[in-house]
């Protein structure tokens, strides 16, 4: 091998290593300072069986995993308030992990006070991190801002003379999950939407007799880091990648899993932007009685 050829190989190798270092640094900077603050607000059509005509096009803003107190969370919360007030949804549904630290409940409260109440109000369940802080103080804060705590209970939402049932459960890891109690007062033919922080509830606690049309969950954060065209290495679910993110078919219902607003440590997102989705209810064409599409 001559000297010129050895030299060109060295130059090529150095160039490749330098490029890899630049790409790696770029990804690290994006993962820490860029992507965690780049909130998406996708509108997702969700087909619901036996949806009453009054609820076709009904829009639910799904907010989850704010994790107030983690790096960057104050800026994200500011942006979240702007999204809540701009999108003009019919209902805001929170599915837990509002805070990561007890001391952050005050900041959360201030932000909640700036959200304009949508026509059908705001409902919530708590997540595991909320229980690891001060869930009693958090519940009082939610109550003060008119946010209905749906832990193992439900209530009707009325629109143009029709109604759907919105209900919730306690957190799977830290509280009691009782779907039967949450739907016990629901009329038999009513559309039922369940809030549950942990999507695994759809596998372990939702059965055909509950007739849940849709479950809304968070908890997984989409894995926070997702390999391009590959899996997310860390998804806190007993069912692997199944409930990482998006609309998922469960044994006895369908689950929308949001990637959430915030992060847990390490406070990084890569190929997994935070989101505040708008779920738009559409008919799936199954006629199950008078008034249903």
Draw the binding track, 97-136, toward Fe ion (x: CB under 5 A; -: no contact).
x---------------------------------------
**β-strands 254-257, 246-249: how paired?**
antiparallel
The HSE-up count of residue 288 (CA atoms within 13 Å, CB side) is 15
Query: Which is closer to Fe ion, CB of 67 or CB of 211?
Result: 67
Tell whether residue 171 is a contact of Fe ion (CB under 5 A): no
| Residue with the two structure tokens 């372990």 | 204
State in angstroms the smallest separation of the CB of 67 from Fe ion. Answer: 6
Question: Nearest to residue 263, comparing CAs of 219, 231, 228?
Answer: 219
Interface region with Fe ion, contact rule CB under 5 A, candidates 4-12, 43-51, 64-72, 185-193: 64-72
State in angstroms the smallest separation of the CB of 20 from Fe ion. Answer: 32
Alpha helices for the chain (secondary structure H): 3-29, 73-87, 105-112, 128-131, 135-144, 179-183, 201-204
**List of long-range contacts for 108-111, beta carbons under 8 Å, 24+ apart:** 108/66, 108/68, 108/77, 108/138, 108/141, 109/141, 109/144, 109/145, 111/68, 111/77, 111/78, 111/80, 111/81
State in angstroms the smallest separation of the CB of 220 from Fe ion. Answer: 8
Residues contacting Fe ion: total by CB under 5 A: 2
State in angstroms the smallest separation of the CB of 218 from Fe ion. Answer: 6
> What sign does the dihedral 222-251-89-62 (CA atoms) show?
negative
Interface region with Fe ion, contact rule CB under 5 A, candidates 45-53, 57-65, 98-106, 243-251: 57-65
Query: Which is closer to Fe ion, CB of 157 or CB of 225?
Result: 225
Query: Which is closer to Fe ion, CB of 52 or CB of 195?
Result: 195
Interface region with Fe ion, contact rule CB under 5 A, candidates 34-42, 82-90, 91-99, 204-212: 91-99
State in angstroms the smallest separation of the CB of 124 from Fe ion. Answer: 14
Instruction: Report how far apart, in Å, the C-alpha atoms of 5 and of each of 9, 12, 13, 14, 17 are.
Output: 6, 11, 12, 14, 18
Query: Which is closer to Fe ion, CB of 100 or CB of 109?
Result: 100
Interface region with Fe ion, contact rule CB under 5 A, candidates 6-14, 60-68, 157-165, 246-254: 60-68
Instruction: State the CB neighbour count (10 A cutoff) for residue 131.
Output: 18
State in angstroms the smallest separation of the CB of 199 from Fe ion. Answer: 12
Query: Which is closer to Fe ion, CB of 177 or CB of 183?
Result: 177
Question: Is 86 buried (19+), middle (13-18) or exposed (0-12) by CB count in 10 A?
Answer: exposed
Query: Which is closer to Fe ion, CB of 126 or CB of 182?
Result: 126
State in angstroms the smallest separation of the CB of 94 from Fe ion. Answer: 12
Which one among 31, 39, 58, 65 touches Fe ion, defined by CB under 5 A? 65
User: Are residues 202 and 250 in contact, defined by beta-carbon separation less than 8 angstroms?
Assistant: yes
State in angstroms the smallest separation of the CB of 43 from Fe ion. Answer: 23
Q: What strand order describes the sheet that includes 278-283?
A: 43-48, 278-283, 59-63, 91-95, 122-125, 147-149
Which positions lie near Fe ion, rule CB under 5 A?
65, 97
């Amino acid at each position: 091998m001559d000297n010129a050829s050895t030299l060109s190989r060295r130059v090529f190798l150095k160039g490749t290593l330098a490029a890899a270092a630049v790409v790696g640094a770029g990804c690290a900077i994006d993962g820490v300072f860029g992507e965690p603050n780049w909130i998406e607000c996708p509108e997702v059509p969700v087909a619901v069986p036996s949806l009453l005509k009054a609820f076709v096009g009904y829009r639910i803003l799904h907010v989850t995993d704010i994790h107030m107190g983690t790096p960057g969370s104050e800026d994200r919360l500011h942006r979240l308030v702007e999204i809540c007030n701009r999108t003009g949804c019919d209902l805001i549904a929170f599915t837990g992990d509002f805070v990561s630290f007890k001391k952050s409940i005050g900041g959360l409260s201030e932000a909640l006070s700036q959200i304009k109440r949508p026509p059908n109000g705001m409902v919530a369940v708590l997540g595991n991190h909320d229980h690891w802080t001060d869930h009693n103080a958090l519940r009082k804060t939610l109550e003060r801002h008119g946010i209905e705590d749906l832990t193992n209970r439900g209530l009707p939402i009325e629109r143009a003379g029709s109604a759907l049932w919105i209900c919730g459960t306690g957190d799977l890891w830290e509280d009691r999950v009782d779907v039967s109690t949450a739907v016990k007062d629901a009329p038999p033919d009513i559309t039922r939407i369940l809030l549950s922080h942990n999507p695994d509830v759809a596998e372990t606690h939702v059965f055909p007799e509950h007739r849940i049309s849709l479950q809304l969950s968070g908890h997984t954060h989409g894995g926070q880091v997702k390999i391009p065209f590959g899996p997310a290495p860390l998804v806190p679910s007993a069912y692997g990648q199944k409930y990482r993110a998006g609309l998922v078919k469960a044994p006895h219902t369908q689950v929308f899993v949001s990637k959430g607003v915030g992060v847990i440590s390490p406070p990084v997102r890569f190929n997994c932007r935070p989101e505040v989705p708008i779920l738009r209810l559409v008919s799936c064409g199954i006629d199950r009685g008078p008034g249903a599409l």
